[in-house]
Amino acid sequence: MRGLQEKTKYSLLLVLILIATALSLFISSKIHRPEPDRAITENQAPVKFRLEEIRERGKLIAITSYNPTDYFVYRGEPMGYQFEKLKMFADYLGVDLEVKVAKTIPEAIHMVNSGDGDLIAMGLTVNHDRKKKLSFTEPFLSTRQMLVQHKPANWRKMQTYEDIERALVRNPLELGTKTVYVQKGSAYRQNLENLASQTGEEIKVVEDPNLSTDQLIDLVSQGRIEYTICDEYMAELYEKIYPDVDIRTPVSFPQNIAWAVKKNSDSLRMAINYWQEGFSEDLVSTYLFEKYFVSTRSATMARSEYSSSNGGKLSPYDDLIRSISGKYDLDWLLMASLIYQESQFKADVVSSKGAFGLMQMMPGTARLFGIDTTSTPADQIEAGIRYLRRLDAELPKEISDPQERMKFILAAYNVGIAHVFDARRLAEKNGMDPNTWTGSVDYFILHKSNPDIYQDSVVRYGYARGNETYNFVREVLDRYAHYKNILED
């Protein structure tokens, strides 16, 4: 009898376990689980995840804005808060970085949704309308919108702080009947319209399709317009750049700032979030923010004639580089990038090996072109460009693609054309294209310090520090791309 009771209990327990398991499976099937990327139906071809595409192409394509904080060039070096973050994220993914500039936020949204870029890296305010068009990452900042206004004309002579305060708008209600200019497509217009609706005051908002926020702030500083809006996290920097401007009146509640990707690019969005979590806990995050938004040096850079956001000069030698490059039918921005790589625009620098001047030519090569350490910057630049043209003439015509050919020329300028010819022979011997640099000849230059490579029977000129040449070509062309982004117009 007891055995029968135990058997009945065991059967009942088994039934309960089966019911519980079935119920659990049913409930879990009803829970929404976000897919990493777009779902694939039976009638669709397989769709690669965005992150997979980026890793296969070996390059992250990011869209950002050109201004004194996000992305700019200072004394020949590409810089910026968003730019440096993007470089770190690309390094985390193990890919190269390509940056594209959008002049307006609607343009950036169109670019990412049409596939011209993988992500938007700007100070994008997260709002309901944008969520319809984009997928946002976790926010990296929370900020308020601030009114930008000119201080009283004689504010420096006013006796007390209260006198200055009385002349400024400190209550958003005082914006009634005022005209506020904002960048087209920004979140500022919608917020001001909401403010007007809530207060019953009429605020005239003018969207400018041609001017960025920093350009509008400059107009306020000049007294050409009365008001504009910017985010609070940028206010401290802009008040250093424009001491006649006040940016202390909030006109919104705190709002989140984040990066954004195309809808259904969940694999990329989740990768950004994972990286961002670690980055935000790192001291580098604090250092980077203070570097661009708090430090007095950031304002000094923005006011410099050697900042692309102000004077637009790369170096004191821009006119010479432009003129001499034009004489030899070369892009002056490419030549400027080469000169920065060699000397950082220092005409009197001499290397430990004796290379000297702007173009860092070795004494023996320099003598062939009639220059020495006493030569003028103009003569140094011309000698270096003539040498480039000579290297071009020595390369075979079979290297017909202009972009690939320039990589060969730059490599020869760095390591000598004999080592480049060695690398071409190695490529041909190993069944690769000797007339293509990227993914072919560059591999053998990169490994020309390896005995298995430089002792090969087709190699005539032996060992070379090929990693230096490999990086030289990449860095010159990468910087050139940034110069074109920012300075070409």
Half-sphere exposure of 231 (CA within 13 A, CB side): 20
Task: Let me know whether 127 and 167 are in one domain.
Answer: no
pLDDT for res 162:
77
pLDDT of 432 over the 50 cut: yes
Inside any domain, residue 33: no
Task: Let me know whether 219 and 278 are in one domain.
Answer: no
Task: Let me know whether 244 and 161 are in one domain.
Answer: yes
Task: Let me know whether 132 and 211 are in one domain.
Answer: no
22 phi and psi angles, rounded to 5 deg: -65, -40
pLDDT of 353 over the 50 cut: yes
Inside any domain, residue 10: no
- Cα distance between residue 8 and residue 11, in whole Å: 5
CB contact at 8 A, 331 and 325 = yes
Q: What percent of the chain has pLDDT over 90?
A: 81
Task: Let me know whether 410 and 341 are in one domain.
Answer: yes
Inside any domain, residue 436: yes
pTM, entire model: 0.86
Question: Which range is least confidently modeled, 25-39, 312-326, 347-361, 389-403?
Answer: 25-39
pLDDT for res 163:
74
pLDDT of 29 over the 70 cut: no
Q: Of the candidates 238, 271, 303, which is a domain's last residue?
A: 303
pLDDT of 10 over the 60 cut: no
Question: The domain spanning residue 221 has which CATH number?
Answer: 3.40.190.10
pLDDT of 31 over the 80 cut: no
Inside any domain, residue 78: yes
pLDDT of 121 over the 50 cut: yes
Q: Residue 9's pLDDT band (boundaries 50, 70, 90)?
A: very low
Q: Domain count of the chain? A: 3
- Cα distance between residue 122 and residue 142, in whole Å: 14
Question: Which range is least confidently modeled, 184-198, 363-377, 389-403, 443-457?
Answer: 184-198
Question: The domain spanning residue 369 has which CATH number?
Answer: 1.10.530.10
Task: Let me know whether 228 and 328 are in one domain.
Answer: no
Q: Residue 49's pLDDT band (boundaries 50, 70, 90)?
A: confident
Inside any domain, residue 415: yes
Q: Residue 158's pLDDT band (boundaries 50, 70, 90)?
A: low
Q: Residue 165's pLDDT band (boundaries 50, 70, 90)?
A: confident
pLDDT of 489 over the 80 cut: no
pLDDT for res 159:
58
Of residues 21 and 114, which shows the higher confidence score?
114
Q: Between the CA of residue 294 and those of 18, 164, 290, 300, 318, what are the distances in Å?
A: 62, 24, 5, 12, 30
Q: What is the 3-state secondary structure (H, E, C) of the chain?
A: CHHHHHHHHHHHHHHHHHHHHHHHHHHHHHCCCCCCCCCCCCCCCCCCCHHHHHHHHCEEEEEECCECCCEEEECCEEECHHHHHHHHHHHHHCCEEEEEECCCHHHHHHHHHCCCCCEEEEEEECCHHHHCCEEECCCCEEECEEEEEECCCCHHHCCCHHHHHHCCCCCHHHHCCCEEEEECCCCHHHHHHHHHHHHCCCCEEEEECCCCHHHHHHHHHHCCCCEEEEEHHHHHHHHHHCCCEEEEEECCCCEEEEEEEECCCHHHHHHHHHHHHHHHCCHHHHHHHHHHHCCHHHHHHHHCCCECCCCCCCCCCHHHHHHHHHHCCCCHHHHHHHHHHHHCCCCCCECCCCCECCCCECHHHHHHCCCCCCCCHHHHHHHHHHHHHHHHHHCCCCCCCHHHHHHHHHHHHHHCHHHHHHHHHHHHHCCCCCCCHHHHHHHHHHCCCCHHHHCCCCCCCCCCCHHHHHHHHHHHHHHHHHHHHHHCC
Q: Residue 37's pLDDT band (boundaries 50, 70, 90)?
A: low
Q: Report the pLDDT averaged over residues 330-356.
A: 96
Inside any domain, residue 20: no
Task: Let me know whether 64 and 181 are in one domain.
Answer: no
Task: Let me know whether 220 and 100 are in one domain.
Answer: no
pLDDT for res 355:
96
pLDDT for res 30:
36
- Reported as a single tens digit per residue, the pLDDT across 248-287 is 999 999 999 999 999 999 999 999 999 999 999 999 999 9
Inside any domain, residue 9: no
Task: Let me know whether 159 and 276 are in one domain.
Answer: no
Inside any domain, residue 38: no
Q: Residue 41's pLDDT band (boundaries 50, 70, 90)?
A: very low
pLDDT for res 39:
41
Token pair for 29? 């099937």
Q: Of the candidates 215, 237, 253, which is a domain's last residue?
A: 253
Token pair for 102? 């959008």
pLDDT for res 309:
87
pLDDT of 35 over the 70 cut: no
Task: Let me know whether 118 and 134 are in one domain.
Answer: yes
Token pair for 97? 């970085």
Task: Let me know whether 429 and 347 are in one domain.
Answer: yes
Strand partners for 120 = 63, 260
pLDDT of 133 over the 80 cut: yes
Task: Let me know whether 294 and 323 are in one domain.
Answer: no
Domain of residue 408, residue span? 318-487
pLDDT for res 488:
78
